[in-house]
Structure 1
Amino acid sequence: MRKPRFTDWLFLALALVIGAAAVFVALRPTPGADHSAHRPVVTADLAPAAHSDGLSEAESGYRFERITTPAVRGPEVPVAFRILGPDGRPVTRFLDNQTKQMHFFAVRDDMNVFQHVHPALDGDTWHTSLALTDGGAYRMFAEFVPLDTKDPRHPVVLGVPFTVPGDTTFVPVPAPAGETVTATGYRVARVDATARISPLRAQLIRFALRGPDGALITAVDPHLGANGHLTGFHTMLLSATHLHPAQPLGARLVNGELTFHAVFSDRGEYRLFLEFSHGGRVHTAAITVAVN
């Protein structure tokens, strides 16, 4: 039996290289392909709907059509828009989502301005107004649940930017913190402030509520058909994240805790806006959290 020659080893090495290259090409992700099988898995009822983050004016066949865009300052700046469906026609009926067909948000890019309103339908056009007392770059979001959706827990969120001209008092986004105070004197603390929040993972966000007198709040009034409403916005991307109440409506708040299901799509800092009703009025608490 002859010994392998140098050329034999050379051809063998060349064959191995070609084979490895073929395997690499076969396994390499194809642009535009669905790679969901390789993503972290979260429970189906909490998984974020694909692209439902308000970073686009069109998604899932629906499109945001501007009619009247805010362009001035004022206490009641009008806004009007249509939602066009897959057939290009205005859509005027959606499923109720926390008692409303349409939720509408506006945030400034420094997160110092937040508005949550509920437009009224007139014909085929949705109308509302915003209190815009300062200039700057803003983004507005329309959130709705289509009648034919297969997943009513995940609304469609469309977003478009707009600019209010004039001087702007820029306010840096507050760093992540464990506690904040509302303009009405309520203290809101994250119970699990030291817990790590990871992207694309179902988890709970827990808040402890105290009144202006320092006493724990044991019960809240219904607000939008729930104990509270929580929305998050990525401080760099300006993407929107809807968080679902974990407690049933009317449940007693043990240790003053109000709890929400959360799934964050991206790493980074989020500004959370918690709305709850107590003492006959709605209070809004803003707090920054880090997702990493």
Structure 2
Amino acid sequence: MRSLRFTDWVFVVAAVAIVVAGALTLFRPTPGPAHSAHQRAAPADLVPAAHSDGLSETESGYRFERVTVPDTRGPAVPVAFRIIGPNGRAQTDFLDNQTKQMHFFAVRDDLHVFQHVHPTLVGDTWHTALALTDGGAYRMFAEFVPRDTKDPRHPVVLGVPFSVPGDTTLLPVPAPGAETVTDTGFTVVRTDEPTEPTPMRPQALRFAIRAPDGAPVRDLDPHLGAYGHMTGFHTMLLSATHLHPLEPLGAPLIDGELTFQAVFADRGEYRLFLEFSHDGRVHTAAVTVAVA
């Protein structure tokens, strides 16, 4: 048998390379969809649980149009605005979101001032008033659910900054903790684990509500169509996060606990504001949660 010449070896090597390349192509895993550095992959069933936004005055084709912006202190400083829709006209009809078509929030950048009100529509303009007794940098949020939404559990949230001149008493955001006391004497204790949720992972946050005498509160009044309402704000970004209550009205509150479904979009600390009604009065508890 004759020995292979150099050119024969070249053809053999080339043939082997082609076969190997074909095998690698055949058995190579199919690549998944590309994601940008700013996208977060999450299971589809997590998406409706919460949202975190309000960092822009435009979203999903809707725009916050300023009419009257607070620029002074007072117990009832007027605010007026329009919501301009994708068609370029003022939008005045939205789906009910926890019994209201429009939720409106205002927070100071140190998160020691929190307002949650429900504007009144006059013509094509929404009107409300804020109690702003101290100066500082603030952000206001309009939250609504468009009629043509594909997911009514995902409101549109538009955020706009404003400032109130004058002396300001700024305070540090309280450190994360499990217990807080309302101005009305109710104690609220966070009872879930782990204490530091992970971004874009679902977690049920549980809060035990105790009356001023220490007894568990088992007979909350309906508030905005539920036993409670909770909104959170990232302490650095001031992005808004709406958490949805899990106990339906009429269900017993075991040990006076309320549960909220949470999915936080970013790492960092969040200041959560829990509103609940008891004996015909709305109480607000604030707690800081670290997301790691």
TM-score for the superposition, normalised by structure 1: 0.87
Moved more, 249-258 or 141-150: 249-258
Structure 2 match to 1:216: 216
Distance in structure 1 (CA, Å) of the matches to 2:134 and 2:59: 30
Contact preservation (8 Å) 1:80, 1:125 = yes
Contact preservation (8 Å) 1:221, 1:250 = no
Contact preservation (8 Å) 1:42, 1:202 = no
Superposition map of 1:142-181 within 5 A: 142-181=142-181
Deviations 1:168-219 (A, max 9, x none): 0001000000000000000000012653311101110100000001101112
Structure 2 match to 1:273: 273
Matching residue within 43, 46, 50 for 2:45? 43
Considering only aligned residues, what root-mean-square deviation do their CA atoms show, in Å? 2.6
Distance in structure 2 (CA, Å) of the matches to 1:35 and 1:214: 45
Distance in structure 1 (CA, Å) of the matches to 2:206 and 2:50: 19
Superposition deviation, residue 250 in structure 1? 2.5
In structure 1, runs of 5+ residues without a counterpart are: 13-25
| Aligned-partner SS, 2:53 | coil
Work out the number of aligned pairs and report it: 273
Deviations 1:123-174 (A, max 9, x none): 0000000000000000000000000111001100000000000000001000
Give identity over the alignment, percent: 70
Amino acid paired to 1:201? R
Distance in structure 1 (CA, Å) of the matches to 2:129 and 2:46: 36
Distance in structure 2 (CA, Å) of the matches to 1:271 and 1:193: 18
Structure 1 residues 203 and 30: alpha-carbon distance in aligned structure 2, compared to 1, 3 A threshold? closer
Deviations 1:2-52 (A, max 9, x none): 899xxx9xxx9xxxxxxxxxxxxx9996869x956xx13252563545xx5
Distance in structure 1 (CA, Å) of the matches to 2:45 and 2:94: 25
Distance in structure 2 (CA, Å) of the matches to 1:176 and 1:89: 43
Contact preservation (8 Å) 1:177, 1:193 = no
Deviations 1:31-89 (A, max 9, x none): 69x956xx13252563545xx51000000000000000000000000000000000110
Structure 2 match to 1:115: 115
Distance in structure 2 (CA, Å) of the matches to 1:276 and 1:214: 17
Structure 2 match to 1:283: 283
Structure 1 residues 48 and 223: alpha-carbon distance in aligned structure 2, compared to 1, 3 A threshold? closer
Superposition map of 1:217-236 within 5 A: 217-236=217-236
| Aligned-partner SS, 1:128 | strand
In structure 2, runs of 5+ residues without a counterpart are: 18-30
Structure 1 residues 211 and 48: alpha-carbon distance in aligned structure 2, compared to 1, 3 A threshold? closer
Deviations 1:86-143 (A, max 9, x none): 0110000000000000000000000000000000000000000000000000000000
Structure 2 match to 1:65: 65
Contact preservation (8 Å) 2:72, 2:165 = yes
Distance in structure 2 (CA, Å) of the matches to 1:30 and 1:251: 41
Structure 1 match to 2:76: 76
| Aligned-partner SS, 1:43 | helix
Contact preservation (8 Å) 1:231, 1:272 = yes
Contact preservation (8 Å) 1:46, 1:202 = no
| Aligned-partner SS, 1:134 | coil
Contact preservation (8 Å) 1:231, 1:273 = yes
List structure 1 runs of 4+ shifted beyond 2 angstroms: 1-4, 26-32, 44-49, 193-196
Select the structure of larger CA radius of gyration: 2
Structure 1 match to 2:261: 261
Structure 1 match to 2:24: none
Contact preservation (8 Å) 2:199, 2:267 = yes
Structure 2 match to 1:102: 102
Amino acid paired to 1:272? L
The yes-or-no answer on 1:242 pairing with 2:242 is yes
